[in-house]
Structure 1
Amino acid sequence: MANINRCSSDKNFGIDRISSLPNDAHTHILSFLSTREAVQTCILSKRWIKTWAYVPDLKFDIKEFGLPEIVDDERGVQFVTKFELLVRSLLQKREISCVNRFHLLLDSDFRLPWTQAFANCIGDVMKLEPRECLIKLCSSEKLNLEPNLVNLPYLKTLNLDGFTMSDDSFQKLLLGCRVLEELVLENCYIYNIEICSSTLKKLVLRSDYMGMRLQISMPNLLYLYLDICMEEIILQNMSSLVDASIYIPGWDGMDKYVSRVPKLIHSLSNVESLRLDLDFSREKVDKNFSYCPFFNNLKRLELLNSRFFVFDLAPYFLHHSPKLQELTLGPSICYVRESLGEETQDGLRDKFVQREFLKTVRIVRFENDNELVDWLINKLLTHVKTIGEIIV
């Protein structure tokens, strides 16, 4: 039996089982690779020569094409031009006209020049009406979109990173995405952002750039992540929102802005999960958070990194969230100890309200401040009748 098994193994040795798979399986396998890697499979055998041309996904990463270690303006233009010609060549050699996913990663350690030819190249891909689009751009140039370049009737996912756009160009982009369900903007500079959509279900805005106004109206939005510097944030028609993460940084001269934050939080009152990071001083909180809406659906709450939140925000939510099950606090309570005297801390202790039950309380360990953590645990146990689990 051993000899027979060996002969059977020898007989099958060297059979190309992958090449014997149907064409649809080949294109599905190649869809997990970058376009450059997919094209390289053409050297495997005659069967693979044109397989890459039927892959519905286009994924380009500029770092895969020999980006020089040092890029000045002249070499940057030359490299981007060559990259643009390569992308165009591959587009012409494809055997299918549709695009499912289009990924273009131009993020590098250098700010590459944005050429009009390359902008037109992206426009040509957009004409193929992709359903998912991810573009990371590192450029100092502002992107201005022509109306005829923005017609993406099937696009459901759009992820832009590193773009600078005029307010008008951004509006043209949104108007051309009629069925968009997921929008991610990272490190994008748009001075005024207005998003009104009945199709968006997920929105992520993350940027260090300072803008003027953000206005959002999305009745079907389910997930919201905001980490953005705006002087004014207006959230409207958020009745379907389930999960929200909000980070609002503090800066000098922001008193007028802080006064609008309670209204911002009020617009999140339907969520089931809420993560808040509000970097304000205690005085601003006491002045502007005297009224807190009821969060009748809230089950999970995280109050993170704020200088005061354990003493000032937690009582509001404990009192106004009847379904709250999980509470996470951390990690900057140490700043309160440094800034508040014992008299002030004693006064704040009375803010905690009586509550029947919390399933889980998580306290992020505060370095070198075990005494304050112990006090917080004791205070919670005093004012919450039953806590299922305390995790420190």
Structure 2
Amino acid sequence: MMNTNWCDSEKTDGTDRISSLPDDVLTHILSFLSTREAVQTCILSKRWINTWAFVPDLKFDIMEFNLPKFLYTREEMIEKFELLVKSVLEKRETSAVNKFQLRLDYEIHWPCTQAVANCIGDVMKLGPRECFVEMCSCQNLNLNTDLIFTCASLIDLWLYLSTEVYRFVAIEPNLVNLPCLKTLELYGVSMSDDSFKKLLLGCPVLEELVLQNCEMDTIEICSNTLKKLELYSLHDIMLHISAPNLLYLNIGLVGMREIMSLNTPSLVDASIVIIGWYDQDKYITMGPKLMHSLSNVESLQLELCFPNRKVQKKDFSSYPVFNNLKRLKLVCWCFYVFDLPPYFLHHSPKLEELTFTNIHAWVA
């Protein structure tokens, strides 16, 4: 049976054992709470009045307010959230921040205010290692991206800036200096070709890059450090990749004009989803250049969508042998891919698992 003497003695003598813990232990405990919850601990006792101000993590999430909707309008909720963010940053100690999270729930489309947006730059001055920002309806706000993209302490950066279809937040930093950044994820942003090149040059140790629902004309990626690359919901782009140490590649493109992977010899796992537009009788297909760049993978998933058109039988004579391929999954919305399974079976000597689904054949 469990010994309850310790618990019983605590109840009888009234000792507050938690408050007697060292400061660094208390701040570590509070780091598991949201910033709003951590601030609320100041009412517990004198010992807790300023403890929250030393917590290395800042977590602001509007959905944690849980205020009765019949008592507060959306505007009042935003006002209270803005007040919380401003007051915390004013009263908080100037010690370094480890993690910073700012989240206005995108499913309900809480609009961001300029006062809330300003806090991002204020936190960057405290040297955070991780930054996660998720907000919508911020197209007309000054996000102080220069402070974000020159925060030399950042290791992980996630920016979800617009969740509305075909609406993007322009990101054009004057200077990029992120010498420690290893993970970068951008959602709902618009960048010029020059700005994107500047961004990659300013991230010399970047290992993971995710771009989703972004507006760009050409994505040219040249990196010796990149290990994982994910591209989703990008429309009508030209894509060039040169990443000799890339291990994982995940691409989901719509209306792609050109795709070229000229130097990805270390790829282990790849997933390619292409929804192709056709112009007269011209298709964007899985050309030999792309297939050669995938030829060393062990696991491959291809999902091709060229609906309602019958494509002539393909000539695979210029396609490579997949010497390391063990797992292959094909999901297709077109006729010509009936040629692909036999091709892979004859050109993948180590193939152990093959899954083939032809949606067009089901609905034709």
TM (norm. structure 1) is 0.69
Q: Assess, with a 3 A threshold, how the Cα gap between structure 1 residues 215 and 8 changes in structure 2: closer, same or farther.
A: closer
Structure 1 position 157, deviation (Å): 1.9
- Residue 132 (structure 1) aligned with residue 130 (structure 2): yes
The correspondence for 1:226, drawn from 251, 254, 259, is 251
Number of aligned residues? 328
SS in 2 for 1:287: coil
Separation of aligned partners in 2, 1:115 and 1:146? 21
Structure 1 position 68, deviation (Å): 11
Deviations 1:8-57 (A, max 9, x none): 65213365554444433433333333333333333334343333333333
Contact 1:143-1:169 within 8 A present in 2 as well:
no
> Which residue of structure 1 lines up, in the alignment, with residue 145 of structure 2?
none
Equivalent position amino acid for 1:321 in 2: S
> Which residue of structure 2 lines up, in the alignment, with residue 247 of structure 1?
273
> Which residue of structure 1 lines up, in the alignment, with residue 301 of structure 2?
275
Contact 2:305-2:332 within 8 A present in 1 as well:
yes
Equivalent position amino acid for 2:38 in 1: A
Structure 1 position 92, deviation (Å): 4.1
Q: Assess, with a 3 A threshold, how the Cα gap between structure 1 residues 297 and 144 changes in structure 2: closer, same or farther.
A: same
Structure 1 position 201, deviation (Å): 1.7
Q: Assess, with a 3 A threshold, how the Cα gap between structure 1 residues 82 and 8 changes in structure 2: closer, same or farther.
A: closer
Separation of aligned partners in 2, 1:303 and 1:122? 43
Contact 2:42-2:50 within 8 A present in 1 as well:
yes
Separation of aligned partners in 1, 2:315 and 2:100? 45
Structure 1 position 6, deviation (Å): 7.0
Contact 2:104-2:112 within 8 A present in 1 as well:
no
Structure 1 position 247, deviation (Å): 0.7
Equivalent position amino acid for 1:228 in 2: L
What stretches of structure 2 of length at least 5 have no aligned partner? 140-168
Structure 1 position 277, deviation (Å): 0.6
Q: Assess, with a 3 A threshold, how the Cα gap between structure 1 residues 59 and 152 changes in structure 2: closer, same or farther.
A: farther
> Which residue of structure 2 lines up, in the alignment, with residue 373 of structure 1?
none
Equivalent position amino acid for 2:297 in 1: V
Equivalent position amino acid for 1:211 in 2: D
Contact 2:303-2:331 within 8 A present in 1 as well:
yes
Contact 1:198-1:219 within 8 A present in 2 as well:
yes
Deviations 1:304-351 (A, max 9, x none): 354458732211211111122222233x45x32554xxxxxxxxxxxx
Contact 1:239-1:270 within 8 A present in 2 as well:
yes
> 1:318-357, aligned counterparts within 5 Å?
318-330=345-357, 332-333=358-359, 335-336=360-361, 339=364
> Which residue of structure 1 lines up, in the alignment, with residue 161 of structure 2?
none
TM (norm. structure 2) is 0.74
What stretches of structure 1 of length at least 5 have no aligned partner? 70-74, 340-392
Structure 1 position 258, deviation (Å): 1.9
Q: Assess, with a 3 A threshold, how the Cα gap between structure 1 residues 328 and 36 changes in structure 2: closer, same or farther.
A: farther
Greater share of helix residues, 1 or 2? 1
Larger radius of gyration: 1
Separation of aligned partners in 2, 1:117 and 1:191? 32
The correspondence for 2:224, drawn from 195, 198, 205, is 198
Separation of aligned partners in 1, 2:28 and 2:293? 43
> Which residue of structure 2 lines up, in the alignment, with residue 11 of structure 1?
9
The correspondence for 2:214, drawn from 158, 170, 188, is 188
SS in 2 for 1:153: coil
